[in-house]
Amino acid sequence: MTQFLSLLLNGISLGAIYALIALGFVIIFKASEVVSFTHGSLLLLGAYTIARLSDTIGFLPAVLVGVLVTAVAALLVERFIINRLRGAPVISLAIVTIGVDIILLTELIRQIGPDILNVPHPWGGDSVRIGGVGISENRLIAMGVAAVLIIAFFVAFKYSSWGVAMRASAEDGEAAALMGIRQGRVSALAWVVAGLLAAVAALFLVGAPTPGVSAAAYTVALRAFPAAILGGLDSTGGALVGGLLIGITEAMAAGYQEQLSFLGRGFGEVAPYVVMIIVLLVRPSGLFGTKELTRV
């Protein structure tokens, strides 16, 4: 039972990080109608920047710069590529983002090299025990920060002008344009927010129990894709649920490896994708995704 609770807690904390990434993925899709595959490398860019700068300018300033750099990089991708290709088929845009991702990723891997860059989190690699259930401090803080960011995001999405403009233009872009809503601005802001969220996720993804920033962080980030897709690509609530579901699945599959050994070693890494496929087979538009709503 203790093992179960421990895995559940760790799964939730991992899932909260995935949810941050998936949320960005979903709002980009809603605002720009792009399935953005640049997300993995943006995240790695954030992690890399934080790791590189921590030693010289200190941890907190490095985090701020890292978050900023990632947000600006996301904005540049939107302004110089996505915005100029508006109206292009969704599939071409997706392929374009894969291209951007590969370029950025290749450069980052060249910079990182074979090393594992250490991020000197002030909370270090310590673990805490809550009633016999162990979790790393890093993951615990991640859970708290993610909760705050996610709540802030949902409040803004529901009540701010940006949120209303975003939901309006996601539902009917032309009608929103006729109301004077500037889609370019809505879309640019969505990329910035997604970049911010990805960088914060990166900060915690490269902390304990993960050893540090290496090219492998990229593959970890990729697990946020099944989270967004199984939640429903156009549903922010779905991104949250999808993220948690993937996090818990991964933690459980890794934790109960012995019992699952008939599936082979390392099942934890593929489990998110298996869950995604099963969910999509039952609900093709994801758990909370909208099938084209039709109104009279």
Interface residues with another protein (CB under 8 A)? 87, 161, 164-165, 167-168, 171-182, 293, 295-296
Smallest separation, CB 283 to another protein (Å): 19
Residue closer to another protein by CB (options 5, 168) is 168
Q: Which residue in 205, 74, 201 sits closest to 150, CA to CA?
A: 201
CA 193, 271, 34, 17: dihedral to nearest 10 degrees?
A: 0
Residue closer to another protein by CB (options 56, 161) is 161
Smallest separation, CB 165 to another protein (Å): 6
Let me know if 46 is exposed, middle or buried by CB neighbors in 10 A (0-12, 13-18, 19+).
Answer: buried
Q: Check residue 213 and report its DSSP letter.
A: B
Residue closer to another protein by CB (options 176, 279) is 176
Residue closer to another protein by CB (options 161, 259) is 161
Q: What contacts 142, CB < 8 A, 6 or more positions away?
A: 13, 16, 17, 204, 207
Residue closer to another protein by CB (options 136, 169) is 169
Smallest separation, CB 173 to another protein (Å): 8
CA pair distance 204, 14, nearest whole angstrom: 9
Residue closer to another protein by CB (options 176, 254) is 176
Smallest separation, CB 180 to another protein (Å): 3
Smallest separation, CB 9 to another protein (Å): 35
Smallest separation, CB 295 to another protein (Å): 5
Smallest separation, CB 182 to another protein (Å): 5
Q: Cis omega before residue 61 (within 30°)? A: no
CA pair distance 13, 207, nearest whole angstrom: 12
Smallest separation, CB 296 to another protein (Å): 6
CA pair distance 67, 199, nearest whole angstrom: 5
Alpha helices by DSSP H, listed for the chain, are: 2-32, 39-57, 59-77, 90-112, 137-159, 161-171, 173-178, 183-205, 216-222, 224-231, 236-255, 267-282
Confirm if 217 and 272 have CB atoms less than 8 A apart.
no
Residue closer to another protein by CB (options 87, 284) is 87
Q: State how far the alpha carbon of 17 is from the alpha carbons of 150, 204, 241, in Å.
A: 10, 7, 12
Residue closer to another protein by CB (options 92, 118) is 92
CA pair distance 288, 296, nearest whole angstrom: 22
